[in-house]
Amino acid sequence: MQKRKINLFGPSITNFEIDNVSKSLKLDWFQNYNKYQQEFEDYLKNFTKRKYALATPCGTHAIHLALLSAGIKKGDEVIAPNATWIGSVAPIVQVGAKVVFADIDKENWCLSLESIKRAYSKKTKAIIMVNLYGNMPDYDPITLFAKKKKLLLIEDAAESFGSFYKKKPSGNFGDISILSFHSTKTITTGEGGALLCNDKRIYDNAVMFSDHGRSKKGNRLKSEIVAFKYKMSSIQAAMGIAQLKRLKIILRKKENIFKRYEKNFKKCIEIKLIKTSKHSVSNHWLTTIYWPNKKKINVNSLINFLKKKKIETRPFFPPLNQMKAFSNNRNYYRSTITKFSEDIATRSINLPSGLNISNKDIDEICQHIINFFTY
Ligand SMILES: Cc1ncc(COP(=O)(O)O)c(C=O)c1O
């Protein structure tokens, strides 16, 4: 029998999701337009304790709407980490502003306050904090700095739904938070996202930018501005509602995956797991290992070794400022020193963390990795 491939990601879809989606396919979504989206948004608001939520087709669109709604434009600078998915920063370029790449903290792997301070200039208008792999940064001093300098603080919580910092849920930090419900994420709607905020002006702007420049009131055939069409479908929202109702079970499974890896790697002191940052609870979206520089393990050799064993892994995010998308377009960005982002990319990988993984799979993965490290 052929060995089953162990995937990096995998959602948890049960009959509960299937039944809710089937229900949404019947005509009530058409007769009662936005019913499922509103219910989904209400769940998100309740969970994150935000006043407003807007469901979007993906997390990248939510960041685009956040920047547009807060008036970020050409000539402005936005500080963001050099170590993240491109979706965190592409919308900065799309609104005509400049990305300022800053470094991540050695402990929590999210933007560090020191690096933000180094990156700050008179043109800085916003900071995009990314809660990398579900880990939370030290939000208190960063929020204080943003307030002092009157900067818009956006929480990119694409990877951290279900994480907490000082008992506050991810999705509740800064002026605007964004979520992603991409197929790889803890809670998924296939593709999907959301914008969360407490400011009615920002929410109203986001609604208008997401709906061809139409305001909720007045003649719905007349647009006030030329804008975008960024709306989530009823089918996606129905799937999301069912996923949210199972959030506790899903988070427990993620925690168990992390703990199983942790237990296994205790046998090999050179292999370290991403640490949950101080004062926080991580959703353990994606278990990640790293090793000391002196070990001289090559990321690609390790990934290829595991691939031969039918185990899918992924390297750490390559530094954005070294990608052609940016290095070929010097006017898109300004770089600061981002030593740790560059260094950690050479000595860490993401391990299979899908919700369908078994303890036996994890034990096997760990044994292969330990063998690779010790022989
Ligand atoms: C940190 C981060 N930001 C933004 C995004 C963009 O989300 P989406 O893929 O839903 O557009 C992702 C998703 O992969 C992400 O991981």
Task: Give CA–CA dist 117/134, Å, rounded.
Answer: 24
Terminal Cα-to-Cα distance of the chain (whole angstroms): 28
Per the domain annotation, does 5 fall within a domain?
no
Domain boundary among 245, 264, 285: 245
CA atoms within 13 A on the CB side of 104: 29
Instruction: State whether 26 and 81 are in the same domain.
Output: yes
**Pocket mutation for ligand 1, best pick of 56, 60, 86, 314 (most atoms within 8 Å of C-beta):** 60
Give the Å distance between the CA of 162 and the centre of ligand 1: 16
Domain boundary among 199, 224, 245: 245
Instruction: State whether 279 and 333 are in the same domain.
Output: yes
Tokens standing for 111? 């933007």
Tokens standing for 140? 């208190």
Give the Å distance between the CA of 84 and the centre of ligand 1: 9
Per the domain annotation, does 147 fall within a domain?
yes
**Closest C-alpha to 160, from 186, 142, 141:** 186
Give the Å distance between the CA of 158 and the centre of ligand 1: 5
Q: Which residues line ligand 1 (CB under 6 A)?
A: 58-60, 84-85, 87-88, 130, 156, 158-159, 180, 182, 193
Instruction: State whether 129 and 275 are in the same domain.
Output: no
> For strand 272-273 and strand 280-281, is the pairing parallel, antiparallel, or unpaired?
unpaired
Tokens standing for 197? 């905020």
Instruction: State whether 233 and 364 are in the same domain.
Output: no
The domain that contains 319 carries what CATH number? 3.90.1150.10
Per the domain annotation, does 90 fall within a domain?
yes
Q: Are 239 and 18 in contact (CB under 8 A)?
A: no
Number of domains in the chain: 2
Give the Å distance between the CA of 24 and the centre of ligand 1: 26
Ligand 1 atom closest to Cα of residue 193: 10
Ligand 1 atom closest to Cα of residue 180: 10
The domain that contains 80 carries what CATH number? 3.40.640.10
Per the domain annotation, does 3 fall within a domain?
no
Within 10 A of 370 (CB to CB), how many other CB atoms are there? 16
Instruction: State whether 188 and 232 are in the same domain.
Output: yes
Beta-bridge partners for 52: 197
CA atoms within 13 A on the CB side of 318: 10
Ligand 1 atom closest to Cα of residue 58: 10
Predicted local distance difference test score (pLDDT) of residue 316: 98
Q: Are 351 and 265 in contact (CB under 8 A)?
A: no
Per the domain annotation, does 4 fall within a domain?
no
Instruction: State whether 236 and 257 are in the same domain.
Output: no
Instruction: State whether 271 and 235 are in the same domain.
Output: no
Domain span including residue 229: 15-245
φ and ψ at residue 55, rounded to 5 degrees = -75, 140
Give the Å distance between the CA of 180 and the centre of ligand 1: 6
Instruction: State whether 269 and 347 are in the same domain.
Output: yes
The tens place of each residue's pLDDT in the chain, 375 residues long, gives: 677 899 999 999 999 999 999 999 887 777 777 899 999 999 999 999 999 999 999 999 999 999 999 999 999 999 999 999 999 999 999 999 999 999 999 999 999 999 999 999 999 999 999 999 999 999 999 999 999 999 999 999 999 999 999 999 999 999 999 999 999 999 999 999 999 999 999 999 999 999 999 977 778 899 999 999 999 999 999 999 999 999 999 999 999 999 999 999 998 999 999 988 889 999 999 999 999 888 889 999 999 999 999 999 999 999 999 999 999 999 999 999 999 999 999 999 999 999 999 999 999 999 999 999 987
Give the Å distance between the CA of 25 and the centre of ligand 1: 27
Predicted local distance difference test score (pLDDT) of residue 278: 86
Residue type, 318: P
Predicted local distance difference test score (pLDDT) of residue 323: 97
Within 10 A of 299 (CB to CB), how many other CB atoms are there? 17
Ligand 1 atom closest to Cα of residue 191: 10
Contacts of residue 54, defined as CB under 8 A and 6 or more positions apart, other chains included, come to: 41, 62, 65, 194, 195, 196, 203, 206, 207, 210
Instruction: State whether 228 and 266 are in the same domain.
Output: no
Domain boundary among 202, 230, 245: 245
Instruction: State whether 22 and 78 are in the same domain.
Output: yes
Instruction: State whether 167 and 191 are in the same domain.
Output: yes
Per the domain annotation, does 326 fall within a domain?
yes
Per the domain annotation, does 1 fall within a domain?
no
Instruction: State whether 80 and 198 are in the same domain.
Output: yes
Predicted local distance difference test score (pLDDT) of residue 32: 78
Ligand 1 atom closest to Cα of residue 131: 1
